[in-house]
Structure 1
Amino acid sequence: MRISHRRAARAAAPSVLVAVLALAGVQAAAQSADAAPKKATAITACTTAKTKVTVTPVTRPINHLLLKATNTSSKPCYAYGAPYLRAGAGAQSSLVWDRNSIPQAVVTLAPGESAYAGIGTYTPDGVHTYKAKTLGVFFSNRAMNGSVGAEKTLKLPHGGVYFNSAASVTYWQNSVEDALN
């Protein structure tokens, strides 16, 4: 009789081992699922719908304005490149981007944070001087070859500002100082 019990125990041992390993595998899979990082929320480009955009005059440097964009949404957004600006309702093209102002990284705006761009409106080197009463603002797409979202039209201070062909805008910056230097 002892021999038959041993044979039965030996025959049952592999099936018990398989059951234990299967249970351990199920538990490990459950732990892996719990430990897996949650999918990060994709950060999208800032647009005029997600930000409050303002333009203000500055005392230094002369012939400059400061553009400020504050993220009003509940999610972060990227301020790619520089803003596309249309000085005046009849402007044929956007202001030139100042290539000397490229930041080291894309400006990321958490909810409530702001980005800044300096606008050089007029220099003695420029030609075709005109007075603009409005400033059209678009945000750049990721590839920086076009805009995203709708245009936001801002009234310029003092009933209008003089622009000429030398007008330019900096890339988006994290600080006012970087935007105006």
Structure 2
Amino acid sequence: MSTRTHRTRVFAAAAAFAAAALTLTACSNGEGVHDEGAAAGSASTSAPTSSPAASGGTSTGAGQTEPAGWVSGDSAGGAVGSSGTTGATGSSGSVGSKDPVSASTPCSSTSTRMTATEVSRPLNHLLLTVTNTGSKNCDLIGYPAVRFGEAQSVPPAFEDSKPQAVVTLAPGESGYAGVLLSAADGSGSHGYTTKSLQVFFNDGAGTARPSLPAKGVYVDDSIGVSYWQSTMADALAW
């Protein structure tokens, strides 16, 4: 082998070694060739996925459990509905006072007007009419205690006339009671004619003094009164 040939081979080997060294250096500095497809796939696969608990979102997929305290769409609807029902019935039904007009108190001589009318049918009957002149409802309790002239006692009530409920009068409404003055067949005794009448409200709610006919009314010991009624017909049935 000639000296020139030997040198040529040495120089070629040195050049190849140098090129290899440069290639290794470039790769270590991040300047080598990259597989862009593999890098993209790796980045897509390694990207973090947020969980419902961390992001506030939910997942209703099969086999997955909702975070503690989470209310699903259906549950939320039920909760709102329950809240609405409570608001509608709880607050309005239990809080607040009665309407002043609907609250009832016993009818009294100061909040009513009373008249006494002698009727033709049935015979020997007087009709008492009480009208609520106040601004609130009032109750006609029991029956009227009537006293004609100088009588020392008041007549009894017909117990069968007792209504099933107390008669309540709204402002402007009227209630009624009938008074049997004397026996229609003349069988009564101790009769007398009187021109004055006092009517006592139950519960000590005052006394009314309705006017009687100018000629007066005839009364005997057959006298009796009905309980307060809501209609004239019921009051005069006794």
- Structure 1 unaligned residues grouped into runs of 5+: 1-16, 18-26, 142-147
Residue 135 of structure 1 corresponds to which residue in structure 2?
197
The corresponding residue for 2:96 is: 38
1:150 matches 2:212: no
Could you tell me which of 27, 49, 54 is aligned with 2:110?
Answer: 49
Pick from 126, 138, 141: which aligns with 1:77?
A: 138
**Distance in 2 separating the partners of 1:155 and 1:75:** 26
Over aligned residue pairs, what C-alpha RMSD do you find? 3.7
Q: How many residues align?
A: 173
1:34, distance to aligned residue in structure 2 (A):
4.3
Give the letter aligned to residue 176 of structure 1: M
Q: TM-score, normalised by structure 2?
A: 0.59
Structure-2 residue corresponding to 1:172: 228
Give the number of the structure whose residues are more often helix, by fraction: 2
1:59-138 matches, within 5 Å, as 59-88=120-149, 90-123=150-183, 124-138=186-200
* 1:131–1:161 contact (8 Å) kept in structure 2: yes
Measured after TM superposition, the shift of residue 149 of structure 1 is: 2.4
Residues in 2 aligned to 1:133 and 1:154: alpha-carbon distance in whole angstroms: 10
After superposition, what is the alpha-carbon deviation per residue over 1:52-107, rounded to whole angstroms, capped at 9, x for unaligned?
Answer: 1000111100100100000000000100111111111x111112111121111110
Tell me if the contact between 1:47 and 1:138 (Cα under 8 Å) persists in the aligned partners.
Answer: no
Asked if 2 retains the 8 angstrom alpha-carbon contact of 1:82 and 1:140, the reply is yes
Q: Secondary structure at the match of 2:197?
A: strand
CA contact (8 A) 1:87 1:95 kept: no
Percent of matched pairs sharing the same residue: 43
Q: Which runs of 4+ in 1 moved over 6 A?
A: none
In structure 1, what is the Cα distance between the partners aligned to 2:197 and 2:146?
7
**What is the CA distance between 1:33 and its match in structure 2?**
7.8
What is the TM-score when the length of structure 1 is the normalising length?
0.76
Q: Is the 8 A contact 1:96 1:169 kept in 2?
A: yes
Larger radius of gyration: 2
- Structure whose residues are more often strand by fraction: 1
Cα deviation per residue 1:33-66 (whole Å; 9 max; x = unaligned)? 8433422254211111111100011110010010
